[in-house]
Structure formats: C-alpha cells, structure tokens
Structure 1
Amino acid sequence: MPSFDIVSKTDLNEVANALNNVRREIETRYDFKGSNCTIEQTDNVITIHADDDLKLRQMHELLQGHLTRRNVDAGVLEYKTPEKAAGQSVRQQVIVREGIDKELAKKLVKSIKGSKIKVQVAIQGDELRVTGKKRDDLQAVISFCKEQDTEMPLQYVNFRD
C-alpha cells in the first residue's frame, strides 16, 4: 500500500548559519553600535540579549529575515515572554521547534479523517504516517494538509508506492 510521512523537521545547521549572519550584521549596523546585544544558541534554544524592547524587536526581524534567506521557515520559532535583566536590558528565549506535538497531530488526524478521503492516519512519535490504496488519495491528503492553517511548517517525506 502506498504511504508517506508528515513531519516537521528543522535543519539546525542552517539555523546556526543564520545566527552567525545575524551576529555579523549586529556588529556592522550603525543602530547597534555601542550596544550590548548578543544572540546565542544552545541545542534548540536561542537566547537573545538586547538593550531595550526596540532593539529586541529589531533582532527578531533580523533573525526571521536571515532564517528565510537560508530556506528555514520562521514558523519554527516559538518566542517566550521577554524577561527583564539588569537595568533596561531584556533577555528572551526562542525555542526552535522540531517534530509534531501531540495536540497538532490529533488535530491533523481528526481533520484528515473528517475530509472523507479514504486513507488511514497513524501517529508515530512526532510524525504522522498516512497510508491509502491509491496514490491519488495520498496526493489529495497532501494538498488538503497544505490548505490547513497549522502553526508549524510541515514536510511530506518518505513517499512509497
């Protein structure tokens, strides 16, 4: 039976490259001269240190722009609430999400089954396996999932006949 997997994966090497580009741009931009703005990554957590809220928002725009240039969807970023640090400075953690969480997986399974397409959907860890009798049904599921408004970018991999 034909099948494919619905996954949400992020290339962490591309994220690291984008962060290096952001650091380089922060060092050279005029509005960041003399500021104490840094951006660091440990595993799936990015920590942003900024002088104030305005610079924090500018760093968000820089980060999203550089991720988009590196073909990483900016939807993988989950921003935590900013914390006050010493004086006016602000610290914020940004989590790079990977895998489909249980709530989103259940929502996708329910919507695919509600679409009356003749396929079976199974949750396997942090990915979904879709199997069906016809390749056309699987392609219909892919187009249906692309139309759905999910907060995470999805990839459709491992297509087998």
Structure 2
Amino acid sequence: MADNSFDIVSKIDLQEVSNAIQQATKEIQTRFDLKDTKSEIKLEKDAIELHSSDEYKLKAVTDILQGKLVKRNVPLKGLTYGTIESAAGATVRQKITMQQGIPGEKAKEIVRVIKDSKKKAQASIQGDTVRVSSKDRDTLQEIIALIKNKDFGIDVQFTNYRSN
C-alpha cells in the first residue's frame, strides 16, 4: 500500500483574478490613450470578457490585464484567448476562458509520462486532478521535478502532499 501521495492540479485563484481585473480597470480609466474608448473588463463565472472600441485598444487592454495578472501570480498558461469579434455599437470584444482542472487528454498524458519514467509510483486520474502515490517520498520528489520540467501546455500545481 502506498503511503505517500500528492495531487497534480491546474487551478486559477479567482480572487486574484478579480483583484487583477479591478486594478486593470482603474488603470484603463486613468490612461490617456484609453479614455472615452468604452473599454471594459468583465469577470464571468469561468471567463473574462474584454470590450473596447477597436482592436488596437483591445490589445492595450489585454496587455494591461496580463501585466496585472502576472503581478498577482496568476499563471497566463491557464488562460485561453478567444477570437476578437465585433460587437454592438462599433466595438470589439474578446472572451478569455480560464482553465479550472486538468482536461482528460492532458491528464492521460501526465499519467503516461509518469508510467514511462519507470519510477515506482502509481498515477491515477480522479476527476480533474491526477493523484500520484508511492511508498518512497524521494520518488514523489523526482516525479514532481519530472512534471515541472515537461511542458504540457497547461499550468500545473502540486497540492495535497501527504506522507505517513
């Protein structure tokens, strides 16, 4: 029976996203080049919606938001940018979806990498997390290093580290 385990997750702290959006909104309202451009940022349940008067201003709003997110340690890998589409009143909008949880195919890829490493550890997919368990703590540390060094295209965090 494996005594030690940890979870691999991909989550974005929504409170930090909300704070970053508030800071970005303040900056948009005070910046000279963005005044009177109808630029705004809205936080929805699992997405961020950007509105602006044209694509160049929307790009500036995106840059401001990304800067604020980075300052608040929100991983940009967890954001998926939609296409820029025209909206009512000669404005444009863009939807940014936030990654919450590891998608199924990425979870399978993580499990495959762990199994291919030939380390004595078991990896199992549990919903939108991957649980890794082993008898040896050092093996778990090696697996964490292995996963950190490999790019899966998503941001991963290691939580729920348990050892007995």
With the length of structure 2 as denominator, give the TM-score of the two structures: 0.94
- Root-mean-square deviation (CA, aligned residues, Å) is 1.1
C-alpha distance in 2 between matches for 1:151 and 1:25: 30
**Identity, % of aligned positions:** 44
Distance 2:94 2:50 in 1: 5
What is the Cα deviation at residue 86 of structure 1?
A: 3.5
Question: Which of 93, 97, 101 does residue 91 from structure 1 map onto?
Answer: 93
> Aligned partners of 1:85 and 1:57: how far apart in 2?
16
User: Equivalences for 1:12-161 in 2 at 5 Å?
Assistant: 12-86=14-88, 88-161=90-163
Matched, 1:3 2:8: no
Separation (CA, whole Å) in 1 of partners of 2:159 and 2:25: 33
TM-superposed CA distance for 1:32, in Å, is 0.4
TM-aligned CA deviation for residue 97 of structure 1? 1.1
- Structure 1 distance, partners of 2:159, 2:79, is 22
Q: Which runs of 5+ in 1 are unaligned?
A: none
Structure 1: how far apart are the matches of 2:23 and 2:154?
Answer: 24
How many Å separate the matches in 2 of 1:36 and 1:135?
54
Gap runs ≥5 in structure 2: none
**Distance (Å, rounded) in 1 between the aligned partners of 2:109 and 2:15:** 30
For residue 27 of structure 1, report the CA deviation from its aligned partner. 0.2
The CA distance in 1 between the partners of 2:59 and 2:152, in whole Å, is 24
Q: What secondary structure is seen at the aligned counterpart in 2 of 1:9?
A: coil
Deviation at 1:14, TM superposition (A): 0.7
